[in-house]
Structure 1
Amino acid sequence: MKPSPKIQDLRAEQSHRDRGRRRLRRCLVAIGVVVLLVLFGFFGLPPIIKAQAVKHLSAALGREVTIERVRINPLVLSVAVEGLAIKDRDAGPFVGWKRLYVNFDSWSLFTGEWRFQEIELNGFSSRVVLHKDGTFNFSDLIPAPAASTPPAAPSTPARPVRIGKLTIISAAFDFTDEGRPAPFSTEVAPLSFTIEDFRTLDGPGAPYAFAATTEAGESFDWRGTLSVNPLRSTGEFSIGKLALKKYAPYYADRMRADILDGTLDIAAHYTIDLTEGARVLGLNNGVIKLGNLQVAERGVSSPAIELPALTITGISADGVKPSAGIQRISLDQAHLRIRRDAGGALNLLTMLTPEKIPAAPATTAAAPAPSAPVALPDVKLDEFAITGLLVDFEDRTTPTPAKNTIEKLDLSVKHLSLSEAAAPVAINLAVVLASGGELAVEGSAVREPLAANLLVKATALSLSGFTPYVEPFLNLRLASGTVSLSGKAGVAGSAATFQGDVSVDQFAALDGAQAEDFAKFASLAIRGLDVTTEPLAAKIAEINLVDPAGRFVINADKSTNFATVLRASAATPASKPASGGPPAKTKTGAPAAGPSPAWSLGKFTLTNGSFALTDRSIKPAVQTALNQLSGTVTGLSSADLQRGDVDFHGKVDGIGSIAITGKLNARAVTPAPNAATDFVIDARSIDLSPLSPYIGAYAGYELARGSLTLDVKSHLAQRKIDSANVITLNQFTLGQATNSPEATKLPVRLGVALLKDIDGNIVIDVPVKGSLDDPNFKIGRVVLRVIVNLLTKAAVSPFSLIGAMFGGGGDELAYQEFAPGEVNPLPAEAAKIETLRKALKARPALNLDITGSFDAAADQDALRQQQLTGQLRVKLWEERRVQDPATLPPEQIELSPQDEARLVAGLFAEKFPAGVVVKPDGSTMAVPVPKSEARAERPEPRAYHRGQPILRPVFEPKPAPRSIVPPSSIVNVSKDMQVQGISTAPTLADMRRLLAADLVVTDDDLRQLATARAQQVRTLLESGQIAPERLFLTPVPVQPKGARVLLQLK
């Protein structure tokens, strides 16, 4: 049996029951309250929050705000706001979302941080507009900045925040920029972001992920971990397919180009740690890819730049050091169209300049004082590579635009460093030209101090595309030709060197006017080339020139292809003084010239050269050539005493030979005292037939035949030349006259005959001396002057030329002097006859015209005296025949002085029976005979006897009517005459003169005398073995030239 409970126990039990009831009551009340609160949270609070939120947000934002629904779960402390929409002031959408879910962690009530288990934003959308005035559509929501007062330090640090998971799903961001010349608009959607265990306190990084896509297919991705205090983050990000053309409104005014297409991809790993004392700003494994980039000049549809793939890999950077590194930059299969405008600007650089360059400020601030040099960041690039680059280059600075194409360019530059200036950089370049040829460069270079060592090799680079660059200097067209090069190039500071070989093959150039061959050669090889710039010097071991050919053409208008090709460039206009100012002073003094570059050439070899002359200015055209020219020059140098050996041999028109030999010093054309050049030119059997048109045009006769021999010995020293030139024309024979209007009026045939010797040679010795500093001194001009002078002398004074050649007088050789009435030259003329004999004998082509002449007065008196003497011989013959019938004929009788005096007196008495008077001046006058006296009849002349040297008229007088009167009987004058002072005693000469004065000498007699003289001179020349057919008697001139025989060379 149980014992009865005690009062205390009962009271305690009752008290316990009461407490249980109260506790239950309280629990039920609490539960009720909780239920009510939960019910209020679920159903009562959301409408209130929605209404208040709409009310207050609309008022605060000044925009219409709508919320579809607010959901609250008080059990898990979560809030969801659905269908939020905030309209912009233009009634367009501004901000909104489909659902915002926030799950608050109740533990935040018991910890020192705000905790959220989850925040999720789904369907967020935002529209941002940047207006033309630079304000945003939300600028009115940003409060104006307060007066600048230092912010008060927070009394307590902000409560940390911790989010278990933050998620943004299907967000959309719309951006419009109305301030661009062309409005810009883009939409980023869908956008998603996730981060877990995010906290603002120090701790392990919160993993996150961000992904977004635009309407253009661009993608943005960001993954990693994030910690806020201190800011730490590691991860990776990427931007994919960023459409560059889309963002043109932001760069269009900053460049004169249009991006037609192109995408940008960026990806990298990063590390950020802003912990004090251990900061890290790192980037690694970065990659940038530029794909299908096409950039065109503004308003042009075809791209100037095409980059299928530009890739930058291995990007790393350290923002703390600072330093950066790139493993490789590669450009693959790009295509550049480069154009150089007439002003020299490159289109690619012009494309990068802004459309409107801002004006320079009116005032410029003073330049700051120079600061200490800033250390360059450590930037390294392991390799920069270009593969398969195609370049079209057009240069419009030339008269004819130059167009060249690099078909393929490969470039590799390794080990670039911005901070390590002395680090060597490896270079490897390979170029293939579309026109033919390849270029390769391999070696290394250093930036500071500047230095480079390169192996350069060029193979068959075409020259034809470089014609436009030659045109400003030469009117020339490069038809063909290739350049090859192999050697070492070096740079050390400002000095450069090159050692190697250079060759040009199959070169051909046309003149720009007629497009005809101007110059060409099979190959030009320069071997052992060694060039330095400090000091400037060059050494060449050997130069070989094979099959060179050149043409000198004289056109129909007498212009030459050389003058056309070597046209002078336009002179630079002289600078003009400013308006109103004095003329600018010009410096008359020139700086002293530095030392001449040193150079040397071991050997120059010419093989089978050919140089042609074509002259179309005359008809027929002249065609001649120097061909098969080969030879060498050895040992040339810039040194004063160094003389090279010259030895060349060739043919003229394939027949005549020419040789050039001697010693050549390149300094001989300078005032150097010890430099001298000696050379000999020996030309043999040069056929002159190709030059016949010249002779026909300017000499007036065709060339029948002839050849040339040339001997030249020249000495050149201190710019002075001393040359002995002997020109020999072999069998030079003129043909028919051409009647050329340009022919000289000089007697060319006579000149040729005067100069051609008995062997058929014309030898012209032309010594030449002069100074190269004399602008009027030209060797060709000197030689031509000598030849013209010879022809002029042949025309003006050919006998003087003969006298100079054969040593016998001058112009006096042109005539023979005679005594009055005589047919034999004066004795002094014998030497002149001998000189003519020598000349005619030595010059077989020379003929002589012989023209007799007379003196009308002197020869007439002499012929009368000869007639009188003939009468005296006849009278003497008649006297002697009476005594001796066998006496000699009259012309053979010797007339003694006694007989002459007696016979003259007799004849005088017969003719002047009244006598004569002698006047005081010595003249005589016959005394008139009375009319009643019969005059003795005048004897009649009979035929001429030709047995004597001259034709003398012999008179047969009729018998005298009375006997001969002695001389004393003629002195029969009146005393009146004696009183007047007149003498009456005539001399023998007076009587002969008076007797002869009445004799008749006709013009025929005088012409017969002139003819007899000419025949006598011809006889004297024929006796010197001169062929008669070379001596021609010409008619006596109508106007007599005196008592002489005139000679004329033909």
Structure 2
Amino acid sequence: MFKSAYKKFKSFPIWLKITSYGVILYGIYLILLGLVAPYVIQTQLPSALQTMLGREVSLAKVSINPFLLRARIDDLSVAKSESSKKLFALKRLEVEVNFWQSLLTLNPTLSHINIDAPDVMFSRQQDGSLSFQDILTRFAQRAKKQPKETHDDGKIFALRIGKISLLNGQFAFTDSATGTHLHYQKLHFNLNHFDTRALISSHQTDKPHNKFDLKLTGQQQGQMNLTGQLQLSPFKAVGHLSVQRVALTPYWQLIQPYIRAQFAHGTLTTKLLFAVNVQKNGLQWQLNDGSLALNNLQWQDKTQPKVSLAHIKLSHINASSADKSASIGQVVLSKPQVEAVLKNNSLDLVRLFTPKWPASSSTKSAPSQGQSAAPWQASLDQVSLEDGSVSLVDDDFGQGTRWDIKKISLKTGQLSSDLSRAIKYQLSLALMSPSHQNAGQLSSSGEIVPQTQSVRAKLKLSDFDLTTLGAYITPYVNIQLHSGQLSSVAQLRFSPKQQFDYQGNLALTQLSIDDNVTDKPLLKWQKMAINSVHFSQAKNILDIKQIQLTKPFLRVVVTPKRQTNLSHLLVSHQAAKPSSHQAKEPPQTAATKSAANPLKINIGKISLSQGRAFFADRSITPNFASGIDSLNGDISHLSSKPGTVAKVHLKGAIDQYAPVTLSGEINPLLKQPYLNLDLNFKNVELVSVSPYSGTYAGYYIDKGQLDLGLNYQLKDNQLLGKNHIVINQLQLGKASNSSKAMNLPIKLAIALLQDRHGVIDLGVQVSGDVNDPSFGVGSIIWAAIKNVITKAVMSPFSLLAKLVGSDQQLNYVAFAPGRAMLDKSEQQRLDKLAEALKKRPKLKVNVRGSVNLAQDALAISEFKLKQQLLKVSGLAKLPKDLSASQFPMQGPLVDGLDKLYTSQLKKSVKATRKKIVAQIKAQQGGKEPSAEQVTTAVHISMYNQLIKVQKVPKSQLQNLAQIRAQQVKSYLVNHDKIDPDRIFLRNSKAELKTDSTKVKLQITE
């Protein structure tokens, strides 16, 4: 049958035979391609892939349409290693061959490649390896085993594909180390008119080759679009990338283990044109006209937001790997907000954002020899920061002070990576108080030169509220800062060579400070304007044209414990021991540096307007208080230059009406300060210092005025003072019974010092060494005045003698023994005393007579003997020069002497003579004395013996003392015209003084 059929077939015409052969071959083709090939592929491909990949591979169906030359694979999947989960899955892969196009062009041509719902899922393990790491290893090992092809003509295999499309793709990545899970879906990719040998041309045709389009939807509906065109030989791709609202939170999880800050939210949007090509020297790329925006960014710690931004926008981004250049037109930061805490000498943001990378054992590659890669050049046209804010809580130094900086605005000029250009900037911000009130504004503009590390800037600070510094001041100073605003307009310069330079004006207004000792105002002023300030660190100078103080006020109070409120301003702290790692500079080194190059200071003028001062002393009872008002004037030309002095001229009023002036020269800026100042007070009411007089003088003041002229000179640290004190009409009141009163007769001192017009005129000189720790101007003045008073009351007659220009001692009147008559010299002494008493009309004199017991008794005894001799002799009068040795040799006086000797002493004159003869003879060695010699010796013996037996009663001596005192008063009253009520006789009889023949005088008030 077969043979008959064959014979019959051979009889067919040739065309029929050819047709038959064609049909048979076509049938075989259909069977092989449509049935056999799918079956073989479906059964062999999984095992082959499994052998290649080392993974389990499954394939649901393979079908081939032999008519359309279309092959399709359904449900292909590759499992993960040692897991039932999928690494890769594919719902459908379809490839269609364009037979006729391939035949006509003699190049393989595919109509299309369609990939439907590919799903890629891979992960990173805890050890850092990828889930497909083993597959890459197998490929690498296989590549090593295969022989390398030596023939390469440089041409790429020709292949054309009408369209390559990928629809509904998904991609998932899981990082076990960080817990990150990334998932992308709706992945669509189209590549039209693909030609492996087509080139990108600037002349686009109706059907441009290799044009692609990639679309991807990420988590939280973020979109990515990538469109462009590519060529394979040489490889080149150009296109446009667009990313819309891609959530950044999942990506932050990749670095979250290494950063303490938690990323709360934020999205990325970007657009750019790109070009990528491969050349002989490697891959090169280019970005053009790009833009990038990071929106709604926020980082936080465990409890609250720390850093947030409305957006960061970068515009006009251009970069080229060939030129190694990158440029950005503008960077805009909108509404950045920062919350920070300073604690334990560390800013919490530093800790939150400092990476904690794991230790790495990798070694750095050695640099290539003989080659130095050209550096990249980058530029940024402008940085703009808008409506920023910073909140800083200072728990270290500010005791929880919160600093709020609002409305921060910053704009810069062009920036370059080579730092060759000056960076211009404009900055403005507002400071807020804890009550969210405006606490000052700061604006600045200028430029920074990175290469020279120099800065030139204009600065304007307006109404900075100094009360925000309260927490920083109170730990060191016992004050309460109630108000104060600082303003400044200045130009600043800084560079490593020229160092810091400041030129501008400062103003400190509405300052009000209370001290914590009295809880009352300590220091105030309405305004302090410091004009034309120039500080140069390089030249080490500080020049100030003028300092103007308007309505300054200072309050000084002495506390009940005798300490001033100023002495408690500084809070005492124990000196902290320096850490072992801190460098220590010996004190002498710092001192040497300071002395070698001291700061040069020049101040043109310091002006005071409507100043006031208040002084109160609570340590005395009653309390004292006084004030200086209307203080005006200036200090001009104050300089630290040696040999210069500043002129001082200040005027004011004590208690509103008593004028006070301060004038002279000072220079406290010299190494050894200099001053020569005159301080004058006029018509100061002494009732205002009555509390002091009550406490220290023992009496209150009822009346009086003070003129005080003080001159102080300080030279070589030695203070010399000449003080002219005039007290007019001083009148003391009642005694204060103060335990602190000095133990001196103050009323007497006043009477001694006050002239007949009621004026006390004193010149007091003071001196002291300012290096002495106990030095104090007030203390040395008081010591000098106290010394004057002490000298006055302790030596009042010396003071009175000086008043009348006498060197005599006026505190006594001398009398001859036994007599009560004033001789001429003593009368002159009393005349001088009277002259002084007339100049001190408040003084009174106590007069007390006295006797010398031996001298006055002897003189009275001799006087009594002479009276007896006159009586018994019968003479009218005695010889003027009568004495024991001048007694006559014979006559009535001799007879009377013999008579008195015999009657009163009961002795024989002959026996006395005989005894004296024997004494003289013995003294002369047996030689007989002359009669005259014997008579003279006898008369002397008898005369002296009679004197000794005369009785002088005490009453007679008392009367002598009293008469002497009366003689002194009588002379002062009658002759010198001193009021009798100023001369007081003391009872000389009741308390008889027996040590002197003088009348003693005592000054009283």
> When the two structures are superposed, what TM-score results if normalisation uses the length of structure 2?
0.84
In 2, the alpha carbon distance for the partners of 1:1006 and 1:369 equals 131
Change over 3 Å in CA distance of 1:32–1:834 after alignment to 2: farther
Change over 3 Å in CA distance of 1:602–1:201 after alignment to 2: same
In 2, the alpha carbon distance for the partners of 1:687 and 1:1021 equals 37
The alpha-carbon deviation at position 780 of structure 1 amounts to: 4.4
In 2, the alpha carbon distance for the partners of 1:360 and 1:750 equals 99
Larger CA deviation: 754-763 vs 385-394: 754-763
Residue pair 2:475, 2:571 contacting (<8 A) in 1 also = no
Unaligned 5+ segments in structure 1 are 1-14, 881-895, 917-969
The alpha-carbon deviation at position 391 of structure 1 amounts to: 1.8
Change over 3 Å in CA distance of 1:977–1:780 after alignment to 2: closer
Q: Secondary structure, in 3 states, of the residue corresponding to 2:620?
A: coil
The alpha-carbon deviation at position 549 of structure 1 amounts to: 0.7
Match of 2:926 in 1: none
Is residue 2:191 matched to residue 1:195?
yes
The alpha-carbon deviation at position 393 of structure 1 amounts to: 2.8
Change over 3 Å in CA distance of 1:1047–1:440 after alignment to 2: same
In 2, the alpha carbon distance for the partners of 1:622 and 1:561 equals 15
Letter in 2 for 1:165: K
Is residue 2:80 matched to residue 1:80?
no
Q: Secondary structure, in 3 states, of the residue corresponding to 2:856?
A: helix
In 2, the alpha carbon distance for the partners of 1:99 and 1:150 equals 32
The alpha-carbon deviation at position 766 of structure 1 amounts to: 2.9
Is residue 2:825 matched to residue 1:819?
no
Letter in 2 for 1:1049: I
The alpha-carbon deviation at position 489 of structure 1 amounts to: 4.1
Q: 1:46 aligns with which of 38, 46, 49?
A: 38
Is residue 2:116 matched to residue 1:122?
yes
Match of 1:971 in 2: 910
In the TM superposition, what are the counterparts of 1:674-753 in structure 2 within 5 Å? 678-713=676-711, 723-753=721-751
Match of 1:336 in 2: 338
Match of 1:178 in 2: 176
Q: Secondary structure, in 3 states, of the residue corresponding to 1:102?
A: strand
Is residue 2:93 matched to residue 1:100?
yes
Match of 2:323 in 1: 321
Match of 2:272 in 1: 268
In the TM superposition, what are the counterparts of 1:622-641 in structure 2 within 5 Å? 622-636=624-638
Is residue 2:507 matched to residue 1:503?
yes
Match of 2:621 in 1: 619
Q: Secondary structure, in 3 states, of the residue corresponding to 2:566?
A: helix
Provide the identity percentage.
25
Deviations 1:775-832 (A, max 9, x none): 787654543332232233245444444445544448x544333333333466654454
Match of 1:1026 in 2: 978
Letter in 2 for 1:207: K
RMSD: 4.2
Match of 2:965 in 1: 1014
Is residue 2:553 matched to residue 1:549?
yes
In the TM superposition, what are the counterparts of 1:738-887 in structure 2 within 5 Å? 738-767=736-765, 779-809=777-807, 813-824=810-821, 828-866=825-863
Residue pair 1:971, 1:985 contacting (<8 A) in 2 also = no
In 2, the alpha carbon distance for the partners of 1:787 and 1:302 equals 71
Change over 3 Å in CA distance of 1:356–1:48 after alignment to 2: closer
Letter in 1 for 2:707: T
Q: 2:445 aligns with which of 439, 442, 445?
A: 442
Match of 2:350 in 1: 349
The alpha-carbon deviation at position 573 of structure 1 amounts to: 4.6
Is residue 2:248 matched to residue 1:244?
yes
Change over 3 Å in CA distance of 1:747–1:476 after alignment to 2: same
In 2, the alpha carbon distance for the partners of 1:826 and 1:359 equals 121
In 1, the alpha carbon distance for the partners of 2:245 and 2:72 equals 36
Match of 2:235 in 1: 231
Residue pair 1:376, 1:419 contacting (<8 A) in 2 also = no
Q: 1:650 aligns with which of 644, 649, 652?
A: 652
- How many correspondences in the alignment? 949
Change over 3 Å in CA distance of 1:80–1:314 after alignment to 2: same
The alpha-carbon deviation at position 650 of structure 1 amounts to: 0.7
Residue pair 2:157, 2:196 contacting (<8 A) in 1 also = no
Change over 3 Å in CA distance of 1:652–1:875 after alignment to 2: farther
The alpha-carbon deviation at position 911 of structure 1 amounts to: 3.0
Match of 1:137 in 2: 131
The alpha-carbon deviation at position 293 of structure 1 amounts to: 1.7
Letter in 2 for 1:1029: D
Residue pair 2:913, 2:938 contacting (<8 A) in 1 also = no
Letter in 2 for 1:223: T
Change over 3 Å in CA distance of 1:696–1:666 after alignment to 2: closer
Change over 3 Å in CA distance of 1:227–1:64 after alignment to 2: same
In 1, the alpha carbon distance for the partners of 2:252 and 2:281 equals 43
Change over 3 Å in CA distance of 1:703–1:245 after alignment to 2: farther
In 1, the alpha carbon distance for the partners of 2:370 and 2:654 equals 76
In 1, the alpha carbon distance for the partners of 2:786 and 2:93 equals 117
Residue pair 1:552, 1:612 contacting (<8 A) in 2 also = yes
Match of 1:391 in 2: 390
Change over 3 Å in CA distance of 1:371–1:82 after alignment to 2: closer
Letter in 2 for 1:380: S
Q: Secondary structure, in 3 states, of the residue corresponding to 1:790?
A: helix
Q: Secondary structure, in 3 states, of the residue corresponding to 1:743?
A: coil
Change over 3 Å in CA distance of 1:143–1:453 after alignment to 2: closer
The alpha-carbon deviation at position 848 of structure 1 amounts to: 2.9
The alpha-carbon deviation at position 548 of structure 1 amounts to: 0.7
Residue pair 1:222, 1:235 contacting (<8 A) in 2 also = yes
Larger CA deviation: 321-330 vs 640-649: 640-649
The alpha-carbon deviation at position 384 of structure 1 amounts to: 1.0
Deviations 1:391-425 (A, max 9, x none): 22333442644433222111111222334624x54
In 2, the alpha carbon distance for the partners of 1:173 and 1:393 equals 43
> When the two structures are superposed, what TM-score results if normalisation uses the length of structure 1?
0.80
The alpha-carbon deviation at position 189 of structure 1 amounts to: 2.0
Change over 3 Å in CA distance of 1:600–1:325 after alignment to 2: same
In the TM superposition, what are the counterparts of 1:227-626 in structure 2 within 5 Å? 227-275=231-279, 281-297=285-301, 299=302, 301-343=303-345, 345-355=346-356, 377-398=376-397, 400-419=399-418, 421-422=420-421, 424-434=422-432, 435-449=438-452, 454-471=457-474, 474-490=477-493, 494-495=497-498, 497-566=501-570, 571=575, 573=577, 590=592, 600-626=602-628
Is residue 2:977 matched to residue 1:1047?
no
In the TM superposition, what are the counterparts of 1:872-911 in structure 2 within 5 Å? 905-911=898-904
The alpha-carbon deviation at position 431 of structure 1 amounts to: 1.9
Change over 3 Å in CA distance of 1:372–1:539 after alignment to 2: farther
Letter in 2 for 1:132: Q
The alpha-carbon deviation at position 234 of structure 1 amounts to: 1.5
Letter in 2 for 1:80: R
In 1, the alpha carbon distance for the partners of 2:867 and 2:855 equals 19
Residue pair 1:254, 1:352 contacting (<8 A) in 2 also = no
In 2, the alpha carbon distance for the partners of 1:382 and 1:726 equals 75
Q: 2:60 aligns with which of 59, 63, 68?
A: 68
The alpha-carbon deviation at position 521 of structure 1 amounts to: 0.9
Match of 1:893 in 2: none
Unaligned 5+ segments in structure 2 are 1-6, 201-208, 433-437, 877-886, 923-933
Deviations 1:50-106 (A, max 9, x none): 222333344544444333222222222222222223333122232212222222343
Change over 3 Å in CA distance of 1:151–1:1028 after alignment to 2: farther
Q: Secondary structure, in 3 states, of the residue corresponding to 2:656?
A: coil
Residue pair 2:492, 2:503 contacting (<8 A) in 1 also = yes
Q: Secondary structure, in 3 states, of the residue corresponding to 2:752?
A: helix
In 2, the alpha carbon distance for the partners of 1:750 and 1:178 equals 104
In 2, the alpha carbon distance for the partners of 1:711 and 1:282 equals 89
Q: Secondary structure, in 3 states, of the residue corresponding to 2:846?
A: strand
Match of 2:222 in 1: 218
The alpha-carbon deviation at position 367 of structure 1 amounts to: 12
Q: Secondary structure, in 3 states, of the residue corresponding to 1:123?
A: strand
Change over 3 Å in CA distance of 1:23–1:788 after alignment to 2: same
The alpha-carbon deviation at position 386 of structure 1 amounts to: 1.3
Deviations 1:932-989 (A, max 9, x none): xxxxxxxxxxxxxxxxxxxxxxxxxxxxxxxxxxxxxx43579899879899998666
Change over 3 Å in CA distance of 1:587–1:627 after alignment to 2: closer
Residue pair 1:165, 1:196 contacting (<8 A) in 2 also = yes
The alpha-carbon deviation at position 554 of structure 1 amounts to: 1.9
Larger CA deviation: 714-723 vs 545-554: 714-723
